[in-house]
Structure formats: C-alpha cells, structure tokens
A and B are shown apart, each in its own frame.
Chain A
Amino acid sequence: MARYGMALDYKNCINCKACEVACKEENGVQLGADKHRIWVGVKDVEGLWPNISIASSTFEPSQCQQCENAPCQEVCPTQATHYAKGGIVMVDADKCILCSYCMEACPYDARYVKEDTMTVDKCTFCSDTRLLRGETTTACQATCPTKVRTFGDLDDPNSEISQLLSHRQHFTLKTHLGTKPKLFYMI
C-alpha cells in the first residue's frame, strides 16, 4: 500500500506561482484570491539597512499537508473527509454538509469553499485527475521550473522522495501539534 507524500526543496522556489496556476488549471479550481489549493508564502527580509539578512528572504510553497493524523478528518461529522488510497486526505462532496468545522480545525488554512458544489475542497495530490490518468506527478510538480517539489511513495525505499528524505535534512510545519504532516521541507 502506497503512502504518498511530497518533499519540497523550498529554497529553490522563485515565487513564479506557476504551481498555483497549474493547480487551478488541472483541478478546475475557481479563480479568486481565497480559492486556492496551494500557495506560496513570502517571508519578509529581516534586519535594517545595512544589516539586511539576505538569507531570511525565502519563499515557502505550501498546500494541504496530507497529515497522517489529520484534525480535519477527526472533526468531520459525516466522514466526508476521509483517508483515501495512499493515505491522501480527501473530501467526498456528496457527504459534505458545509459545517466548516474542518476549515476551523485545519492548522494550515488549507481548505476553502468550492462554489459550484458548495462543499469544502482541498489539495488531493491530483489523485482524481493526473494520478487517475496514470501519471506519476502532480500538476504543481510537473510545472515547477526549479524542481522544488518531489511527489512519491514514502513507503517505497527506492522512490525518489524516499531517497531525497534519507539523505537531506528536513522539517515539517507545526510539528508540535502531532498532525504528522506528509509535506517535508528540505533544508
């Protein structure tokens, strides 16, 4: 059984936002500033001139962390949010009642309301689009010009992601909450 995750070489990110566009195009995400499955966070430059820390200016591409212990899944009253094949956290739009509890519970602000179905939507690792067609990459990964993202099976020791994580230091976001994210930021 696969266990999908993503490694992000985030210091390579140039904030071109091609990933955001590709995600919207591939997954039919509506236009609008608050309708996004993925995003790029911008860390401001620290320090005052002339002691400006150039190293502090980084970009942090992010999306649903596909937590192994997902708070959104735990709080869903109708099991609309569930763990699908490969451990991907998915929303069953037929069961979603739009109580917004998952949006309230998600520590990463990774969920939004999809207007056409009026249900909550989130990153699916392209499992209902590209993976379903037999492709092995997500839209954000395929389009990235600096190869920030590596998607793959964490349980396969020979996969590119497992190899990367085995020899690169990495961290996860809000680790202290115990959500066990499957998005790994490589140092």
Chain B
Amino acid sequence: MFVLAEKIMKQVERFIPMRHTDIRELFKFEKTPLNILVAFTTFVFLILFVIGATNYFIYGHHAYGVTREHPWGLMIAMYIFFVVSSTGLCIMSAIGHVFEVKVLEPFAKRAIHGALVTLLSGFVVIFLEIGHPFRMMIYNTISPGLTSAIWGMGVLYSLYLIFIVIEFFFLLRHDHKWAKRFGIFGLVVGVAAHSNLGAVFGFLVARPVANGIYYPLYFILSAMVTGCYLIFLMYGFKYKLEFPTEMQKTLVATAKILGLLLAILLFFEIWRMLTAIYGGMEDRAVTALHILKSAPFLVGEILLGIVIPFLVILLSNGKAIKTMVFASLGGMVGIFFMRYDLVHDTQLYPMQTLKLTEYQLPPSFIEYTPSMNEIFIALGAVGIAITLYYIGDKILYLETDPD
C-alpha cells in the first residue's frame, strides 16, 4: 500500500511541488511533549470515530440521541462547525491573495489548505448524518427541490469544493494569476454557500427564534471570526509561539481585524437577544430568555467565544499574539457552542404544546443529549481534520513564497 501511495505521490509531484514523497516521513516528527500529546489525542479521536461510525452503520439513527421533536443534533452542529471554519479560512485567505492586502498574504496557502481540510471533515460528518447520502447525490441532481435551502447549500458547497481545490492547486504551483481568479470564484461561491446554510435555519417559519435575516448574515461574520482563530492556532502550533518578525506583523494585523469582527459579533448578539425578547412574543421571547440564562450561551458563546479574545486584543492593542493563541483555543470552544446552540436552540420550543397522553405534563422545552456515538464521531471528525492538516503540512509547501 505504501508503495502504491508513493507512486501516486510521485505522479502528483510532476504537477505540484512537494516536500516529501516518502510515506514513512509522515510518521516522523519531533518528539516534543506537545507533539506527542497532539499525536496521541488525534489517534484516540480516530479510534473513537471508527467506533462511532461502525455503530451508526449498524444501528442507523438509533445510534444517535435525536428524536421526532429534536431531529437535528450534534452531527448537524459539527457539520456547521467545520464548514463555517472552511468558509472563514477561505475569506481570510482571499483578503491576502485575492485582494492583495500584503500583510495578510503569508497565510494564504495555509488557510486554503485549512479550508479544504475542514470542508472535507464537515462532509464526513454530514455523510454520517444524512440517512441516504448516495440517494441524495442522485435525487439532488435529477429531482432538485429548488426552493430548498439544503438543496442550494449542497450545490453551492460542491462548487465551492471544486473551486478551492483548483485555487489551492494553482497556489501550490505559484501561479498567482489563476489562483487569484479561482480564489474569487471560491470566495463568492463560498460566501453564497455559507449564507445559504444560515438560510437553512432562517427560512424556518415555524421557528420564530431562528426565522429571519439574522442567521445568513451572522454565519458569514462568525465564519470570519473562526477563520482568524484557526490562523492563530495553526501558526501558534507551527512556530511554538516563537513567531518570526514577518509573521508577528501578520498576526498583529489579523488580531486587529479579529477585534473589529468580535465587536460587531457582540453587537449582533445583543440586538438579536433584545429584538427576540422585546414585546414578549410567546414562543420567541420565552425561548430567547431560556437561551440567555443557559451556561453554553453565557460561558461558551459569549465568554470564551467573544469576550475573552476581544479583551485580549483590546487591552494589548492586538499585540499580545502569544496570548491570542490560547484565547483562540478557547475561542474555538466558544465557536463550537455557537454551532451547537444554534442547532439546539432552534428546536427548543415544542411544536406540539398539548400533552398527548394522560399522566404526563404538557410539553415544555425539548431536551436533547448527544449519544456517545455522536460524541465519538464529533471528536473523530476533529481527529480527521488534524490528520489531514498534518499530512498536508508535511508533504506540501504551505508558506507563501517571498515574491
């Protein structure tokens, strides 16, 4: 198998420059405690993924904690988590290499690599959520539901994948002219796909807490925030916090952009909550108040996801880039809760408010707890993302060339 893989890599090397074509190189890394910890955790995550996926193939949706009243769970949240990361990295990359903001150009290639990796991880998760993924490919094509946001999302994300693969190909070949052209296509289609994903929730007339313009816009904004966090994490890990001068400038600029984005995101959140609660419209206001009092929202979304990174940037004028790496780690935890809450909170208010059997209370907020299999697959998908990122980092030249 190794020999075959090496033959393939040798063929690929004819088109794109590679650092290594020897598969054995992939298993060699500097044995620092951090590297060993990451490698071990990733390995455990991959094993968990295999367990979770196997149980899904045996038991179907019974392996998940989803119910009639709460049909979407952790899988959908993780899918959103990954594709948001992908769009965010694509946008951040485009600022540098498409719009030629020089200071942000150094991470263009690495960000597009990250965008590809996270998108593929997202596709793995959604493959294990959709009941009939192959049927989806067939009937999405021959019987398209043009009014469906999921149909639009499927088409746009497929196009987005094609465009960023081509963009990445030209970036690796240092063909900036074509990389830029496909970068523009990738950016436009990526933003369209991603706002469409927001519309999957925004179009739900039955769910007042999600219905409206908020999510399509918020998705783009929070995607950019996610992209910035991931850039800090990728470079923090790569340089082990000892950033070269050039990279320091880039990361300070990234931090300043992130500060602005976080301020806008906080502004979005405040007005979302105020408009949802104001007027006391039964299902929307009650749900919003419930969300407002929940720990995942307050600690996860607001504190970890927005406030802490924002304060780090604000108090250091964007210069505390080492602290920002740790704040970004917390930020990604916050971003996860943003995705999880988005899915869960949308389904909080029951559609059926009368009790259906005697000796039960009338339905109140719908409860949902992810099953172990869902958690395994979710962690496993993180493992897949780290593995794919590591492989790309090992065999490809991901630094933007000085010219």
Contacts and interface: CB of A to CB of B under 8 A. Distances in A.
A106 B206 contact: yes
A104 B135 CA distance: 20
Interface string B46-80: 00000000000000110000111101100000000
Interface in A156-187: 174, 177-179
A112 B206 contact: no
B351 A77 contact: no
A44 B150 CA distance: 39
Interface residues of A, number: 40
B132 to A, nearest CB: 5
Nearest to A98: B131
B362 interface: yes
A64 to B, nearest CB: 12
B199 to A, nearest CB: 10
Given A34-B67, A79-B145, A109-B350, A40 B356 contact: yes
Interface stretch (B104-112, B136-144, B163-171, B386-394): B136-144
B147 A74 contact: yes
Contacts of B151: 77-78
A41 interface: yes
Contacts, number: 126
Contact of B71 (A97, A100, A179): A100
- The secondary structure that dominates the B interface is loop
Given A75-B147, A77-B145, A107-B206, A101 B200 contact: yes
Contact of B130 (A40, A76, A98): A98
Contact of A75 (B60, B130, B149, B362): B149
A42 interface: yes
B351 A118 contact: no
Contact of B351 (A34, A97, A106): A106
Contact of A113 (B68, B144, B352): B68
A105 B68 contact: no
Nearest to A78: B139
A75 B132 contact: no
B355 interface: yes
A3 to B, nearest CB: 21
A95 interface: yes
Interface of B: 60-61, 66-69, 71-72, 130-133, 135-136, 139-140, 143-145, 147-151, 154, 200, 203-207, 346-347, 350-352, 354-358, 362
